[in-house]
Amino acid sequence: MYLRGPEPGQFKELHQEGAEIDIIFDFDEHLMAIRETIEDHTRKYTFSSTYVRLGVHNTRFVNLQGLADNSLLLTLRMKASACAERGGGLRFREKVSGFIPEKKKSRLRWDLYMCDWPERTIQVLIPEDRTTGWKTVALVLLAFQRVTMENWCCLVNMKDEPPIAGLDWREIEADTQLDMEKKKGGDFAVEEVDIKT
């Protein structure tokens, strides 16, 4: 997971050694929950978990891409209201089990939640071994309201699925809308967004 700002050099890795990051896509509430767990391996049942929830209320979907190794790259841009102040618009929760004398700093808290950059882009890399092909694509798109439930059903029930590599959802949306506008005889402008990969 990566966080990028508007200036050159504004780049942070949100994953770190000794911490496990889990991501849950909730299509009912239209959000992505990120959980960072840091365990203290010197004591039983001792850990800290940090949760941040991102969704359509505080982010804007930019793109979902299929990379050459069949992993997925999700790009989100935080809305201005979520960047207005530290922690603004983000749902944050921390849970600690047991006593941790020298707790490792949570990057979700200190690098994402407490970040004061005026613009923030989040990129989430989902490795191939953590996906279930187009079912994962469909889940992500439904969670961020890029497809309808009917479209979701078509995606999850595809036969002879094409490979994920080469997927560019922004391009698909732009082509679809251009086709619709051509049928209507109108003009359509596609917003250009710079995606750094």
Asked whether residue 113 is assigned to any structural domain, the reply reads yes
What is the model's pLDDT at position 40? Answer: 77
Asked whether residue 176 is assigned to any structural domain, the reply reads no
What secondary structure, in 3-state letters, does 140-189 show?
Answer: HHHHCCCCCHHHHHHHHCCCCCCCCCCCEHHHHHHHHHHHHHHHHCCCCC
Ranges under pLDDT 50 in the chain: 187-197
Asked whether residue 183 is assigned to any structural domain, the reply reads no
pLDDT tens-digit series, residues 105-162? 888 888 988 888 999 999 999 999 999 999 999 999 999 999 999 999 999 998 888 8
Asked whether residue 103 is assigned to any structural domain, the reply reads yes
What is the model's pLDDT at position 80? Answer: 86
Asked whether residue 34 is assigned to any structural domain, the reply reads yes
What is the model's pLDDT at position 125? Answer: 96
What phi and psi values does residue 178 have, to the nearest 5 degrees?
Answer: -65, -40
State the distance between the two ends of the chain, measured CA to CA, in whole angstroms.
Answer: 12
Count Cβ neighbours within 10 Å for each residue of 68-82 and write b for 16 or more, e otherwise.
eebbbbbbbbbbeeb
Count Cβ neighbours within 10 Å for each residue of 36-64 and write b for 16 or more, e otherwise.
bebbbeeeeebbbbbbbbbbbebbebbbb
- Closest by alpha carbon to 107, among 193, 42, 11? 11
What is the model's pLDDT at position 88? Answer: 61
Asked whether residue 61 is assigned to any structural domain, the reply reads yes
Containing structural domain, residue 49:
2-130
CA distance 59 to 139: 17
What is the model's pLDDT at position 2? Answer: 96
Provide the number of structural domains found in the chain.
Answer: 1
Region of residue 20 (left: phi > 0; alpha: psi -120 to 50; beta: else): beta
What is the model's pLDDT at position 195? Answer: 45
